[in-house]
Structure 1
Amino acid sequence: MTDAPADADGAHCLPAAPADLDPVRDALVEWYEDDHRDYPWRRTDDPYAILVSEVMSQQTQLDRVVPAWEAFLDEWPTHSDLAAADRADVVSFWSNHSLGYNNRAKYLHEAANQVESEYDGEFPRAPDELQELMGVGPYTANAVASFAFNNGDAVVDTNVKRVLHRAFDVPDDDSAFETSATELMPEGESRVWNNAIMELGGVACGKTPRCDEEACPWREWCHAYETGDFTAPDVPTQPSFEGSRRQMRGRVIRILGEYDELALDALGPRVRVDYGGDTGREWLRGLVDDLAGDGLVDVVDGEPSDEATESGEVAVRLRR
């Protein structure tokens, strides 16, 4: 492996790292390849399967993602199958598997259609090109480029920041993390490297470090291991899901998957048992209007299209 370019003075951008980064890199890759968590998406280089795993993994525990990912690919094995699917079925799947943020299902469906219609059925390979797909931001684009095509940049997520801060005393600054991560990654090895450093952060260098238990490969160089100071950048706290707007949105989608159409006041008590007052009709109308704005439901004023409602009532149905 070859060191990344140093700065003008010949020094690299990792304050507490050794001058020669090759042993550091080799140790991490060997540790990862010797033993790592065997998630099924790590056994494929199919960009579609990897994209699905990345989208599902956003703010969802990986162990919960595995059965949903496998079921999703059983239902729609290729991006062509997904593009041809009814979007309402995709959204219903997402909600039924409690994956949260149902608009991600919509974006994934639209991204599959883009690959078909705009890229002749072939996934773009570079991070910048992948960002042209609906709902694919810089992090997801880089992950797909790395794991599918070995063509990505250094991943910088919360786990990687924690590792760099503790191991090499990189300051808690986004620019410093980007620069340090880029320098540390061996050129042309984004697939194994990004998997390895995220594994290190997830297994050995979590909020509570398990340096010896997980045989961390960087102990001999690690600033935190030497000093005993394992502080790390703040990690945002995920808002409670129970009772949240996200949960209520998911319930609306799930319930509408069971009915062709429901009047607003018939839908409300099914969404929450305390429907009424501050969480009554006005609250529910705001919720379904948001879903309509995301392209997930239709709100029908006036004459309904189904016998489930009476003339003049407001009704809601999944958009198909």
Structure 2
Amino acid sequence: MSGADSLPDDLEGVRESLIEWYRRDHRDFPWRRTDDPYAILVSEVMSQQTQLERVEEAWAAFLERWPDAEALAAADRSAVVGFWTDHSLGYNNRAKYLHEAARQVGEEFGGEFPEEPDDLRELQGVGPYTANAVASFAFDNGDAVVDTNVKRVLYRAFDVPDDDSAFEETAGELMPAGESRVWNNAIMELGGVACRKTPRCDEAGCPWREWCRAYETGDFTAPDVPTQPTFEGSRRQKRGRAIRVLKEYDELPLDELGPRVRVDYGGETGEEWLRGLVSDLADDGLVEIEGDRVRLRR
């Protein structure tokens, strides 16, 4: 049985109830009030590893500093990476990719964002999900979004098998034609507010309760979700700590920086390890290395 085979017969009722629920009351994130593809791309990249509530402040500050793709492309890459680090927005590569994507918009697309998902994927660091999200929310021109929240909703509500192709088929069948902006926002909101890991069906007024298999049976298991790498003790954490130490001291020799970055400095996590770490930071334009001394780049 394919995923779409498990959908209720009353598809129009399912669609209308969700859209009405979303329009009546939803979280009012600022990127939901714009159709600017640049602003939406920034929000999507920031949201990949950060809770939406925490993204709001960083998103507003980023757009104030670099209000459009042209401004971002003209920025020093180290400033963009530094902003990313300062706001704890996850892997710095995402900042570098966003900076490169802004350059591509200007040089390869004549300053205009592409509107089709396939064309958006030409931008550095933009994968299928992000391309589809930007196409949906900026141009109302996307396919059905399938993220972790959407998978959980479909798995519970309609007993869709835990299989990517089944999720994609079902999501595509459910989405009303030509309404990707409101639909994708609505179904992700359903997963983020009502059909969470611990469900809040009645509290959130889930509009799909009358059709939902999980609500009927009380079985709220969810599909397997890949585990995220642990931040505590990670290389990313140590990079951030090195930057914070150098902000305090401005410049330090390696043998003084090392113990301040990690308490177990020495041996396999000694100077060779530290040189690799600060070399990565230098490649990102965040620090400068001169002999055995490291300074924060100004």
TM-score by length of 1: 0.86
Is 1:142–1:152's contact at 8 Å kept on the other side of the alignment? yes
Matched residue, 1:35: 25
Query: What residue in structure 1 maps to residue 259 of structure 2?
Result: 269
**Counterpart among 147, 158, 180 of residue 157 in structure 1:** 147
Which one of the candidate residues 37, 60, 73 is aligned to 1:70? 60
1:100-134 Cα distance to aligned partner (Å, 9 max, x none): 21111111111111111111111111111111111
Unaligned runs of 5+ in 2: none
- Alpha carbons of 1:109 and 1:319: their partners in 2 closer, same or farther (altered >3 Å)? farther
Change (3 A) 1:112 1:317: farther
CA offsets, 1:211-261, max 9 Å, x none? 111110001111111111111102233333222111112333455567886
- How many angstroms does 1:267 deviate by? 3.4
Contact map agreement 2:26 2:189 (CA 8 A) in 1: yes
Indicate how the Cα distance of structure 1 residues 37 and 136 shifts in structure 2: closer, same or farther if over 3 A, else same.
Answer: same
Structure 2 residue 159 is matched with structure 1 residue 169 = yes
Question: Which whole-Å CA distance do the structure 2 matches of 1:280 and 1:290 have between them?
Answer: 16
Note the 1:226-245 alignment, pairs <5 A: 226-245=216-235
What is the letter of the counterpart of residue 33 of structure 2? R
In the alignment, the residues of structure 2 paired with residue 86 and residue 163 of structure 1 have an alpha-carbon distance, to the nearest angstrom, of 42
* Aligned counterpart, 2:274: 284
Q: Output the CA distance in 2 between the equivalents of 1:28 and 1:12.
A: 23
Q: TM-score, normalised by structure 2?
A: 0.92
Tell me the amino acid that sits aligned with residue 128 of structure 1: D
The structure 1 residue matched to 2:37, chosen from 44, 47, 59, is 47
CA contact (8 A) 2:77 2:284 kept: no
Q: Displacement of 1:315 after TM fit? A: 4.9
Contact 2:3 2:161 in 1 (8 A): no
Does the 8 A contact of 2:143 with 2:172 survive in 1?
A: yes
CA contact (8 A) 1:288 1:297 kept: no
Whole-angstrom distance in 2 between the partners of 1:94 and 1:178: 32
**Offset of residue 282 of structure 1:** 1.8
**1:148 and 2:138 correspond:** yes
**Cα distance between partner residues in 2 of 1:318 and 1:62:** 30
Cα 1:189–1:257, aligned 2, differ >3 Å: closer, same or farther?
Answer: farther
CA contact (8 A) 1:13 1:183 kept: no
Q: Is the 8 A contact 1:88 1:318 kept in 2?
A: no
CA distance 1:317–1:111, change in 2 (3 Å) = farther
Q: How many positions carry a matched residue from both structures?
A: 298
- State the one-letter code of the partner of 2:214: A
Determine if contact 2:18/2:207 at 8 Å carries over to the other structure. Answer: yes
Identity of aligned residues (%): 76
Mapped partners of 2:184, 2:65: distance in 1: 29
* Aligned position for 1:307: none
Which of 124, 136, 158 lines up with 1:134 in the alignment?
A: 124
- Paired position in structure 2 for 1:181: 171
SS in 2 for 1:14: helix
